[in-house]
Structure 1
Amino acid sequence: MPFWQIFHTPTAFADLSAKAALVRDITAFYVSGGLPDFYVVVVFRPMTGEDMWVGGKPAAAHDRDSSTLRRPFVRLVISHLAVQHGPNDAALGAMTDRINKWLVSHLEWYDWEYTIDEPPRGGWRINGLAPPPHGTDAEKKWAAEAKPSPWE
C-alpha cells in the first residue's frame, strides 16, 4: 500500500483541483506498476497557525523582518508496503527519481521535501486480509475486481 501523508501550510493546496490532480498522478504511478488502485491512500493534512516549524521558525509565518511571505511549505511522508526495495539503495533511488519526474510539476510553487519509508509488509491488512504477493495472479485479481478477496 502506498500511503501518502501530505502535511502543508494553509495556503498550499487551497484549490481542490490541485489536490485532485496530484492524487490522480500518485494513483496512476502505482497502477502503472501493477498495483490495484485501492491500495493507494493519500491524506492531506493542513497545518494551521504555527503548528509546522522549519528551521526553528513557523513555516506559515511571514518573514518577521520584512513584508515578504515565505513560499508555502509541503512535507510528504510516503510509506510503501506493497512493494519494497529492501536494502537495495540503487532500486530505491531509481524509484525516487521516477517519482520526482512527475511530482515536481505539482510542487513547483512550494518549498517541499519528502521521505519514503518501507515498513515490513507483514504488518499490513486490507479488510483483515493479508494482501497477496506483488505480481501474483491473486494480486491481479484484486486489481481487476478493485477489491480484496480471500486468496491462497
Structure 2
Amino acid sequence: MPLWHVYHPPGAYDPGHKQRLSADVTGFYTRVGLPKFYVIVLFHEVAADSFHVGGEPHGQAVRVVVEHIARHTQDPRHRRHTRETLAALLAPHTTERGLYCELHIDETPQDLWMIDGLTPPPPDSETERAWARDNRPTPY
C-alpha cells in the first residue's frame, strides 16, 4: 500500500486540486500493477504559524510523506528513479504553483500490513492481479 500524507497550508488545495493530485498518485501505482484500493492519499491542512521551515513559519510549504508497503527495493538506481518520478508527479501540484515542497519515502515492512483482516497476496501473484481487477480484497 502506498499511503501518502500531504501536509499543506490552508487553501493550497481545494477539492478539485485534491482529486487531481490523488488521481495522479493512484495512476502512478496502478500503472505498475497495484490494486487501486491500495492507494490512500490524506490531506492535512496546517496553519502557517504551525508549519515552520528552518525555525521560521512558512505559509507556502508542502511536506509529502509517502509510506511504501506493497513494494520495496534495495537497488539504488530504482530508488532514485522512484524518488525522481514522484517528485515530477508532484511538481504540477506544488513547485509549479509556487509552493515549497519536500518529499520523503519510508518503506514499512510488508509483514506488518493487513487489509480487512487479510494478509495481502504476494506481489505480482495471480491473487494480487485478481484484487486489482476486482478493486477489493477477497480471501484466498
Is TM > 0.5 for Structure 1 vs Structure 2?
yes
Matched, 1:84 2:72: yes
**Which structure features the higher share of helix residues?**
2
Q: TM-score, normalised by structure 2?
A: 0.93
Q: Which runs of 5+ in 2 are unaligned?
A: none
How far apart, in 1, do the equivalents of 2:122 and 2:85 lie? 23
Q: Which amino acid aligns with 1:78?
A: V
State the aligned residue count: 138
5 Å matches for 1:100-111? 100-107=87-94, 108-109=96-97, 110-111=99-100
**The residue matched to 2:17 in structure 1 has which SS?**
helix
How far apart, in 2, do the equivalents of 1:83 and 1:146 lie? 18
- Tell me if structure 1 keeps the 8 A contact 2:30–2:36: yes
How far apart, in 2, do the equivalents of 1:104 and 1:22 lie? 10
How far apart, in 2, do the equivalents of 1:43 and 1:101 lie? 19
Structure possessing the higher radius of gyration over alpha carbons:
1
How far apart, in 2, do the equivalents of 1:105 and 1:46 lie? 19
Q: Which runs of 5+ in 1 are unaligned?
A: 61-71
**The residue matched to 2:116 in structure 1 has which SS?**
coil
**1:146 alignment counterpart:** 135
**2:107 alignment counterpart:** 118
Q: Which amino acid aligns with 1:26?
A: V
**1:45 alignment counterpart:** 44
Matched, 1:10 2:10: yes
Residue by residue over 1:47-98, the C-alpha shift from the partner in whole angstroms, topping out at 9 and shown as x without a partner, is: 12522111101122xxxxxxxxxxx11000000000111x322211111122
Q: Which amino acid aligns with 2:8?
A: H
How far apart, in 1, do the equivalents of 2:44 and 2:132 lie? 28
5 Å matches for 1:61-72? 72=60
Calculate percent identity across the aligned residue pairs: 36
Q: Which amino acid aligns with 1:11?
A: G
- Tell me if structure 2 keeps the 8 A contact 1:12–1:73: no
Matched, 1:58 2:57: yes
**1:66 alignment counterpart:** none
Q: TM-score, normalised by structure 1?
A: 0.86
